[in-house]
């Protein structure tokens, strides 16, 4: 068994024993590593004696994870989900409960809400044993430069099989970066030889997307920040043609335009650094400060990290609208951990990402 899988099964075993000890709840493993349609499920559990089926997402080092990503992954289960983790701290426990995400951990913290059963335990101290992180063969692909290239592979999958120079031009990275990222993705099981020729093929799309989305707010996004600004005009963004600044709406703003689901409370923009002063002047944006009251609205501006292109996914929407790719908008939303945004992210995932970026095997 792979080391990572061994750890996951150890986490699961301890969590099952802990919930039995703390609350007398018996959860039985009925299936392991099983596919339900496009979903790869870690474990399927049965809540006895009622026989309720729960789809488990097992997470090592859960406190270090993006909460929005965890919530979204559990909600995307093909049935009712439950998070199984090494440790859920009190702050995370409360947020998960508010989001109605069931969980158990290895020290007995738990939230299970069923018609026949309600359990809510938080505050049990962290386990003394911390799981050692082993080297990850694909890890280099999820460092800043690697994330730029992986993003391009996910948005423009056809370039995976192209010469290194073509890949570098489309992704906006150095040619030297391409080789080591491809090697890391091969080692991690995300690129393999194509059946139809001697070229390369992207595989395990869902896992690759999840890993990119998890790493994005930690490894790359902070390096791109150009500043936080504010305005008193709630709808200022509706009057701006962001493409005049070679810019793109991200986060809540992009989601609002893609899905009509969300009214943005904060605005996210990606644009070339040289255009920042022009946008601030024309939009009358001020540097954000702590004095901003209820009538001020935040604007987060980041440097664009991809070359300008003319098409996305070949499905009828493009950069001419001044919107970031749905994948980036989805990652932005989850990174906030906000309830509204996590729900909007789920909508984006189902409408665009699942349909266009995750082919059926």
pLDDT tens-digit readout, 138-147: 889 999 999 9
Q: Which of 114, 105, 66, 113 is nearest to 86 (CA)?
A: 105
* Selection from 240, 335, 210, 232 nearest residue 249 by Cα: 240
DSSP annotation of 279 reads: H
What pLDDT, on a 0 to 100 scale, did the predictor assign at position 135? 61
Q: Residue 33 phi/psi, 5° resolution?
A: 45, 70
Residue 1 pLDDT exceeds 50: no
Sign of the Cα torsion 177, 181, 182, 187 reads positive
- Per-residue b or e along 193-207, where b marks 16 or more CB atoms closer than 10 Å to that residue's CB: eeeeeeebebebbbe
Per-residue 3-state assignment (H helix, E strand, C coil) for 83-145: EEECCCCHHHHHHHHHCCCEEEECCCCEEEEECCEEEEECCCCCCCCCCCCCCCCCHHHHCHH
User: Would you say residue 131 has pLDDT above 90?
Assistant: no
pLDDT in tens, 261-271: 788 989 999 99
Kind plus residue range of the DSSP H or E element containing 342 = helix 339-348
Cα–Cα distance, 286 to 156 (Å, whole number):
36
Chain centroid to Cα 247, Å, comes to 23
Whether the pLDDT of residue 120 is over 70: the answer is: yes
| pTM of structure | 0.84
pLDDT of residue 361 exceeding 90: no
**Residues 51-107 pLDDT 10s:** 999 999 998 877 666 788 889 989 989 899 999 999 999 999 999 999 999 999 999
Q: What is the pLDDT of residue 3?
A: 45
């Amino acid at each position: 068994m792979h080391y990572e899988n061994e750890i996951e099964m150890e986490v699961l075993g301890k969590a099952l024993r802990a919930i039995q000890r703390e609350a007398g709840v018996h959860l039985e493993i009925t299936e392991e590593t099983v596919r339900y349609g496009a979903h790869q499920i870690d474990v399927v559990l049965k809540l006895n004696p009622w026989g309720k089926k729960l789809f488990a997402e097992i997470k090592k080092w859960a406190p270090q994870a993006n909460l929005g990503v965890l919530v979204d992954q559990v909600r995307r289960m093909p049935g009712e989900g439950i998070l199984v983790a090494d440790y859920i701290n009190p702050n995370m426990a409360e947020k998960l409960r508010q989001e109605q995400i069931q969980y158990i951990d290895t020290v007995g913290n738990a939230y299970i809400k069923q018609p026949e059963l309600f359990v809510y335990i938080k505050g049990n101290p962290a386990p003394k044993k911390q799981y050692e992180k082993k080297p990850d063969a694909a890890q280099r692909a999820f460092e800043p430069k690697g994330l730029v290239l992986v993003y391009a592979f996910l948005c423009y999958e056809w370039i995976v099989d192209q010469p290194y120079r073509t890949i570098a031009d489309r992704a906006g990275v150095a040619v030297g970066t391409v080789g080591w990222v491809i090697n890391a993705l091969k080692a991690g099981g995300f690129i393999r030889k194509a059946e139809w020729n001697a070229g390369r093929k992207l595989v395990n799309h869902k896992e690759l997307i999840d890993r990119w989305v998890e790493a994005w707010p930690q490894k790359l996004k902070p390096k791109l920040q150009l500043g936080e600004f504010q305005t008193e005009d709630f709808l200022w963004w509706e009057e701006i043609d962001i493409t005049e600044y070679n810019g793109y709406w991200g986060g809540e703003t992009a989601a609002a335009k893609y899905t009509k689901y969300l009214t943005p409370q904060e605005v996210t923009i990606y644009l070339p650094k040289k255009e920042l002063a022009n946008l601030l002047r024309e939009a009358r944006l001020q540097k954000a400060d702590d004095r901003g009251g209820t009538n001020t609205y935040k604007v987060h501006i980041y440097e664009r990290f991809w070359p300008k292109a003319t098409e996305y996914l070949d499905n009828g929407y493009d950069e001419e609208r001044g919107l970031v790719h749905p994948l980036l908008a989805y990652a932005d939303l989850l990174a906030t951990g906000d309830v509204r945004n996590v729900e909007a992210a789920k909508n984006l995932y189902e409408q665009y990402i699942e349909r266009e970026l995750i082919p059926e095997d």
